[in-house]
């Protein structure tokens, strides 16, 4: 994880059954003082930082565990908590709508040979999008150690069975 990426994704393939993977995850969560909480919600497992160590930017690791022929595929998505991700998605949507509204308003004003001040909203939209992206990257840098802890938890839990990472 050297590069900063928005919602990094990983795929692990382990040569054991899905039920064994779930059992190992439950066992590790119950027996290891790892500072990680887990929720088993079919068809996903969601791992997060425990309440004591959680802060605003703390990440979650969603695991989609799927049985394959002779193995189990685990698709991992590492990202902010759902509420934080939804807030950013709503902000991005708002900024895009401001840009579209500014573009439409500016074009209408231009075609009517009025002062096209609506185009300023496009610039405001770009600034809002860049600011949100910068804040998201800053949050990801602040949560980097916790992201590594979640990823290492999975690797350590399944290290004997771990065969390939894609």
Model pLDDT for residues 33-92, shown as the tens digit of each residue: 678 888 888 878 888 888 888 888 889 988 888 888 888 888 888 888 888 889 999 999
Model pLDDT for residues 98-110, shown as the tens digit of each residue: 999 999 999 999 9
Task: Give dist(CA 118, CA 30) in Å, integer.
Answer: 57
Whole-number pLDDT of residue 80 = 85
Binning pLDDT at 50, 70 and 90, where does residue 1 land? very low
Task: Give dist(CA 12, CA 28) in Å, integer.
Answer: 18
Whole-number pLDDT of residue 165 = 52
Whole-number pLDDT of residue 57 = 87
Whole-number pLDDT of residue 128 = 96
Burial label for 150, CB within 10 Å (0-12, 13-18, 19+), is buried
Task: Give dist(CA 80, CA 91) in Å, integer.
Answer: 15
Residue 164: DSSP 8-state: E
The residue assigned the tokens 């590492």 is: 78
The three-class DSSP label of residue 67 is strand
Which CA distances in Å does 47 have to 130, 137, 152, 158?
A: 29, 21, 12, 15
Q: Compute the chain's Rg from CA coordinates.
A: 21
Average pLDDT, the chain: 86
pTM of the model: 0.74
């Amino acid at each position: 994880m050297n590069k900063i990426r928005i919602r990094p994704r990983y795929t692990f393939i382990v040569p054991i059954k899905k039920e064994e993977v779930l059992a190992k995850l439950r066992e590790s969560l119950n027996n290891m003082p790892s500072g990680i909480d887990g929720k088993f919600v079919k068809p996903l497992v969601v791992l997060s930082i425990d309440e004591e160590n959680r802060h605003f930017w703390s990440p979650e690791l969603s695991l989609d565990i799927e049985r394959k022929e002779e193995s189990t595929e685990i698709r991992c998505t590492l990202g902010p908590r759902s509420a934080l991700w939804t807030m950013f998605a709503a902000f991005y949507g708002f900024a895009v709508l401001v840009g579209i509204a500014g573009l439409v308003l500016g074009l209408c004003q231009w075609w009517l040979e009025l002062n096209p001040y609506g185009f300023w909203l496009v610039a405001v939209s770009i600034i809002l999008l860049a600011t949100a992206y910068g804040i998201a990257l800053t949050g990801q840098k602040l949560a980097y150690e916790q992201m590594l802890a979640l990823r290492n938890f999975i690797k350590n839990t399944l290290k004997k069975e771990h065969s390939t990472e894609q």
